[in-house]
Structure 1
Amino acid sequence: MDIYKNCQVNMANLGWGALAGIAVTLAIAAPSFAQSAITLDRNFRPDPEKLLGNGGGNVSLASLAGIADNCRGFANAEPNHTITLNENFPLLDLLVYTNNVNDDPTMLVKGPNGIVICADDESGGRYPQANRRLPKGTYQVWVGSKNINQSFSYMLSLSEIVQK
């Protein structure tokens, strides 16, 4: 019997239950860097809109941003959130909160037309925050940590007014 027919016979002998079990095992074992996606129009409700996630990783935010200037921290290669703005926003404020005082979050936002925003807590607060006029389009948000491979839970708050 040739190799191809042998594989067919062996797969048939396993049965669907065994194959489903293998598929479930592979799905559980595969790392998940799930992200959330949200679409916003002006005057969205609730304001602020809150997204939860896990920050940190081992990829430099500066390398993801393509710039070294003021882009600190480490995150996963895939963005944590994708935000689609259906309209131009005169102001959109993005603010990252954590519950643990030992977490040191940073943030990278990349958008249309080469927009790159890097933020950390050096602007006076404890949390990374960015607020500015943003044109309609799709934005990717990475939440990182100043320390490599430090993982933490966070909340990303989005508002049309500056948050305190």
Structure 2
Amino acid sequence: MKYCRPRLNFRGGWLLAVLTAITTTPVIAETPNFSTFSLAPDFEQIKGKVTGYTGGSFSLSALSNRDRDRKACIGFADPKPDHIMILEKDFSHLKILVNSRGFDTTLLIQGPNDNIIRCGDDTGKSKDASIDDLDWKKGTYRIWVGTFNAGVKRNYTITVKQ
């Protein structure tokens, strides 16, 4: 009797390898569109200020329909986060404000280990988005700034305040 080794079919094997590499890459290794910044205790206002621009057509609701407080996550942005914010300690309160000179922006922040989502839209009478929340744990946060309509390009500044 002749022994036959089974043949392994590697067609598409490269796809499996690429998908495995993508899905096992840690979040911290992700490169944001604009900036990575760290905030230590008693950070200076200037360190909590970053800039960028909107313009994507990826629906932020694909990341989450609602945040931890059941607020709707809306808007369109790039699939890649615009900024990465690293908190070097726990913060009891932070306020993240978008300033696009009053254009209609949205905001989605994904917290450490991807399991805390915060979303923001209009701030008072302004169409600019903000998130004012308690209990920010030490770790890495991914930030997306979007617009209500897909593909709209708007320059913005984000300010983080304690």
Query: After TM superposition, is the score higher than 0.5?
Result: yes
Question: Gaps spanning 5+ residues in structure 2: where?
Answer: 1-31
> 1:30-55, CA deviations, whole angstroms, 9 ceiling, x for partnerless residues?
xxx73200011110013672101011
Counterparts of 1:36 and 1:48, CA distance in 2: 12
Higher helix share: 1
Question: Gaps spanning 5+ residues in structure 1: where?
Answer: 1-32
Counterparts of 1:112 and 1:75, CA distance in 2: 20
Q: What is the aligned-residue RMSD (CA, Å)?
A: 1.7
1:104 aligns with 2:104: yes
The corresponding residue for 2:51 is 52
The corresponding residue for 1:118 is 119
Counterparts of 2:81 and 2:34, CA distance in 1: 7
- SS state of the match for residue 128, structure 1? strand
The corresponding residue for 2:15 is none
Q: Matched residues, percent identical? A: 33
TM-score scaled to structure 1, two decimals? 0.70
The corresponding residue for 1:142 is 144
Q: How many equivalent residue pairs?
A: 124
Counterparts of 1:116 and 1:92, CA distance in 2: 14
Q: Map of 1:1-164 to 2, 5 A cutoff? A: 34-46=33-45, 49-64=48-63, 66-68=64-66, 70-99=72-101, 101=102, 103-113=103-113, 114-121=115-122, 123-126=123-126, 127-132=128-133, 133-160=135-162
8 Å CA contact 1:56–1:144 kept in 2: the answer is yes
Task: Report which stretch shifted further, 137-146 or 54-63.
Answer: 54-63
The one-letter amino acid of 1:143's match is: V
8 Å CA contact 2:65–2:74 kept in 1: the answer is no
Structure number, greater radius of gyration: 1
8 Å CA contact 1:47–1:158 kept in 2: the answer is no
